[in-house]
Amino acid sequence: MAKELKFEYKSLQDVNSIQDYFKALLTCFENKHMVLSSANKTVEFPIGELIELGIKAKKKDGEVKITIKLEWKDKNTLSIDKEDKLNISS
């Protein structure tokens, strides 16, 4: 049975800190390698060539929630969906 690695982190951050985290994630994807660490846990893994992207967003009673999910396999079994493009803008 394969060993499961888990990492979870949640904290309140300012906008500049969130930008720094996204920049760090971008660097990880450029290098195809990621290390996540906090005070009590570290996980490290390679990043696949094809990555499934999921984004959910909702606003209710003045609260906004955006969930970004990135998922890939150690060995590529995914195929690119060229028909469905996501637009992100400010």
Q: What is the pLDDT along the chain (90 residues), one digit of tens a residue?
A: 567 888 899 999 999 999 999 999 999 999 999 999 998 889 988 998 889 999 999 999 999 999 999 998 876 555 667 677 777 776
Domain range list for the chain: 15-71
Question: pTM score, two decimals?
Answer: 0.77
Beta bridge partners of 64: 59
Whose tokens are 């990135």? That residue is: 70
Look at strands 52-60 and 63-71 and give their pairing: antiparallel
- Dihedral class, residue 32 (left if φ above 0, else alpha if ψ from -120 to 50, else beta): left
Write the single-letter amino acid at 63.
Answer: E
